[in-house]
Chains A and B, each alone.
Chain A
Amino acid sequence: MFPDRQARSFLDPQALSRLAGLPLFARRPMLGSVSGRHASPHRGASVEFAEYRKYVPGDDLRRLDWRAYGRSDRFYVKEFEADTNLRCCLVLDTSGSMNFGTTGTTKIEYARKIAGALSYLAVQQGDAIGLCCVAKGIINSIPPRRNPAHLMHVLDAIEQAQPRGETQLVPVLHELAETIRQRALVVIISDFFIEPEEMRSCFEHLRFRKHDVTAFQLLDPLEVGFDFLRPMRFLDMEGGPAVFAEPNEIADRYHKALQTYLEDLRKVTLETAIDYHRISIDQDYEKVLMQFLVGRSRGRGVR
């Protein structure tokens, strides 16, 4: 695929070719610059009939429905749905906590795989792809474009993304909601270790801007299971204070806190209509993406 370059570690060509069979659909109408395979809020020149409209002077006479004129002696213009491409903006969390991983891979590596695969899929079907690496602020921002050279650029940025620093996802998402042009596909890949209620506002902001938001939450199995035997000293990867804990003493409360958080987050995502995917990073990313794409194709057609 990229003969002049070294293969990227986060891209598996075979997996990509398998995924390429499935189109990446948006769940809601997108505003693209060229025609594509996504629904558009505007009428266009697709083969899909939309509605009849009264002729007004200035309308292209080629679109006048002569058969209808013949039957009713009135001028009607036949309108068709427009198909357009989309702008996909990947928001990649590159804070320190993304460097965590106990199953042989880290969250950031897993995030690179998802981001890389989605970029490839999007560009392949003619959609524009942009990238925004987020830590304490926006580290790296690449606006959406749809040419393969741009894909190289995006993949380079994904490869070079280094996890460090705190997470300031909430202000960054607010900022992106404003700066990305309306009706884009926003894919957030993060561990979302933020209070769900704080997330709610930015999700609502993104929705208000008519973005189709997808959230991939990456969790390590150890974070979910918390199976420790010995007393542990936990160092915060984002520079916070260290915590000393006797695991069998604290495990109960840890699980309680975790469950509460997960439930709250799920509730927030449901209420804000976010396409939320909780992923354990020991899962196969191809399956995860497959599920994601299949889920999307079922929801196509909503205008």
Chain B
Amino acid sequence: MSFLQPLMLAALPLISLPIIIHLINQRRYQTMQWAAMMFLLAANRMSRGYAKLRQWLILLFRTLVIAGLVFAISRPLASGWLGLAAGGRADTTIILLDRSPSMQQQGAGGVVSKLATGRQQLVQALMTLGSSRWVLIESTTNVPTELKSPDALLNLPSAEPTSTAADLPAMLQAARDYIEANQTGRTEVWICSDLRENDWNAKSGRWRPLRDDFLQFTQGVRFHLLAYSQAAPDNIAIRVTEVKRQTTSDGAELLVSLAMTRQTDTDDVVSVPIEFEIEGARSVLNVEMAGPTYELKDHRIGLEREDEIGWGRVSIPADANSADNAFYFAFSKPTSRQTIIVAEDPTAIRPLQLAAGISPDPSLEHGAEVLTSEQLATVEWEKIALVLWQDSLPEGGDAKLVQTFIDRGGQIVFFPPKAISRSRSPSGTSTPDAAASAGPGWRTGPTFAGMSWQGWAETDDELTVETWRGDQDLLANTLSGASLPVGQLKIRRHCELNGEATVLAALNGGDPLLTRITTDQGGIYFCTTTPAANDSSLATDGVVLYVAVQRALATGVETLGDTQQLVAGKAQELIDPWERLAGAEEALSTDYAYHSGVFSFDERILAVNRPAAEDLAKPLEDERVAELFQGLDFVRVDDRAGNIDSLIQEIWRLFLATMMVCMVVEAALCLPKLRPAEGASA
């Protein structure tokens, strides 16, 4: 039970009024000389069960009457939102709205999605509760937006469903920042979400500091979680894993690989008609799906030879969640895989040139050009997918060129130069020996992305790679699960790095071998040794080098082609001027980045889709959620999609009715018993 006017509850002690009056009345007795004592004594000896009970009942009902009145004017709410009472009206109400595709799931037998239900419930609840300020933080931008009134949620475009994943820690971070920046008073944070693991990132290290921050707020922050955690066992999600256009003898064909997943443990077979739509031409493929996953590899769809670029869509019939029934893709001729290698000594990086220049697929165009840093200005950057940089880190104009390349999505791997340039404050370069013995007065050489080379570290023994990230990035295990032979590498000499980076492989001794810098686009890697024979066995044990370079190249190519597959919400600045070819009609042009669809600009085609993690869509366990909010003022209520009962409703009428009933009962109990009118006379 919660109250809109909890201060009125302060009047609750009034319920003792009947008792006090009763006690006062008891004290105001009269004394009388009495003759017929024998009857009084006899009456006292008799069982006083009902009479006594009646007195207590009368007192009880009088108390209830006052309690009913007090409760009624406190405006009680019938809801699961226990503990809402403290403090009354909130100063600021922050609504965190999860707009991820999984929120599009519909309730059993209903056509209302979780998101729509949640919005409706929030509007009803918040309109009843009232607040001085309303702030919406939705899951695409995580930017607080002030609302005039909660019912704006019903029409607001930024409350509509999207294809982007939500990042709950980031949303809470935004809420935290908002509270801190605006010094809000008592704040209510309402979270409307379906508790998907990928949206909540419960394992993220951001939760703990967030919780500590919220605990430090003195104004009182209360969390309400409106959870829609029901899974839809029959829901099937479809996703295109790979699209290849290849030329055949009689034209061209498209090889589409796709995967379907569903949240079920049973092995029952369902027939799923998959509809392919290529440039408006539709075809249907019926497949039998058993178990939780289904994969279709290289489904061939014929194309005209002149269809060099285009887009398509695969879809399945409507099910519990409409947001994961379609997947967009774009295809084009394979892009040429161009690498440039910037080297001090073009002859010394032969292994790199080979690793980048030999393509795994001979049908693809590829090339690796060796340059010196002076020749950078002549490079056609828009065609380059990968840069291998074995020289001093770029400075000035070079650095700008490289940064632009990375921002566009290019990949770059830095190798250490032979000589580490170091400068003492005004003067120029120094020898490696001098660098090795450099004192604290020495300033390190050029810095790029916050990293700089420190100096070569010579070791007597050959070092090996002790740990490396096999789960992702350049050194990830192969598709079959086998790990790369990174452990076999022998590092004879490595260069020390200065700066913050994610270590992908570390030598024994703790120094990194391969690190990655976090960027918005593109990839920056630092390898602390070179493939030169006296530095390491990267060239002789060439598998690792080849795989890493080809992986970096493949990632770089993805951003380069005429078509691109994007994950919704990941490429805002690229999207803005684009034109929609297919996709959700309701999306605003400024929000294209958050909606699945196909967009074109110039000659390029961009397919935007929901993140892969959304398809797995496992809900977080209840204990885990409670753990995340441990120590905070947290209330959770589980709702279901399509629920039309309001979360909270005022029930003061009920209390008023109770009060009246109590009054009537009390009056009935107080009525004197009808006695036979027997006179005293004989």
Contacts and interface: CB of A to CB of B under 8 A. Distances in A.
A94 interface: no
Given A252-B51, A278-B680, A279-B681, A235 B28 contact: no
Nearest to A194: B38
19 contacts: A97-B37, A107-B35, A193-B35, A193-B37, A221-B680, A230-B28, A232-B31, A234-B34, A235-B34, A243-B40, A249-B51, A250-B43, A250-B44, A255-B675, A256-B46, A257-B38, A257-B46, A276-B682, A279-B682
B57 to A, nearest CB: 12
A277 B681 CA distance: 8
B675 A237 contact: no
Contacts of B35: 96-100, 107, 191, 193, 220, 223, 237-238
A251 B55 CA distance: 13
B156 interface: no
Nearest to A221: B680
Interface string B294-310: 00000000000000000
Contact of B40 (A220, A245, A280): A245
A233 B31 contact: yes
A260 B42 CA distance: 10
B652 to A, nearest CB: 34
A261 B680 contact: no
Interface in B466-516: none
Nearest to A282: B680
B38 A261 contact: yes
Interface in A94-118: 96-100, 107
Contacts of A245: 40, 43-44
Contacts of B682: 217, 266, 276-279
A129 B648 CA distance: 91
B376 to A, nearest CB: 106
A96 B35 CA distance: 8
A236 B38 CA distance: 10
Given A261-B39, A280-B681, A253 B34 contact: no
A94 B48 CA distance: 34
Interface majority SS (helix, strand, loop, mixed), chain A: mixed
A16 B535 CA distance: 151
B36 interface: yes
B679 interface: yes
B672 interface: yes
A166 to B, nearest CB: 11
Contact of B34 (A100, A248, A259): A100
Nearest to A253: B43
A100 B33 CA distance: 8
Contacts of A240: 37
B36 A223 contact: yes
Contacts of B673: 252
Interface string A187-212: 00001011100000000000000000
Interface of A: 96-100, 107, 191, 193-195, 217, 219-221, 223-224, 230-238, 240, 243-246, 248-261, 266, 276-280, 283
Given A223-B680, A253-B48, 4 more contacts: A234-B37, A236-B34, A238-B37, A255-B675
B56 to A, nearest CB: 10
A280 B36 CA distance: 14
Nearest to B27: A231
Contacts of B52: 249
Contact of A246 (B39, B42, B55, B678): B55
B50 to A, nearest CB: 8
A234 B29 CA distance: 10
A276 B32 CA distance: 29
Given A252-B51, A254-B43, A235 B31 contact: yes
> Residue among B28, B37, B44 with the most chain A CB within 10 A?
B37
Contacts of B285: none
A236 B37 contact: yes
A249 B29 CA distance: 14
B249 interface: no
Contact of A248 (B39, B40, B672): B672
B534 interface: no
Contacts of B31: 232-235
Given A221-B680, A253-B48, A253-B51, A258 B36 contact: yes
A107 B55 CA distance: 34
B347 interface: no
B425 interface: no
A224 B46 CA distance: 18
B34 A254 contact: no
A14 to B, nearest CB: 23
B26 A246 contact: yes
B25 interface: yes
Nearest to B52: A249
Contacts of A234: 31-34, 37, 40
B30 interface: yes
A96 B51 CA distance: 31
Interface string B42-81: 1110101001101100000000000000000000000000
A224 B679 CA distance: 8
Nearest to A276: B682
Interface in B664-680: 672-673, 675, 678-680
* A-B pairs with lowest CB-CB distance, top 4: A278-B682, A280-B680, A253-B43, A100-B35
Contacts of A195: 38
A213 to B, nearest CB: 15
B41 interface: yes
Contacts of A255: 675
> Residue among B30, B32, B36, B52 with the most chain A CB within 10 A?
B36
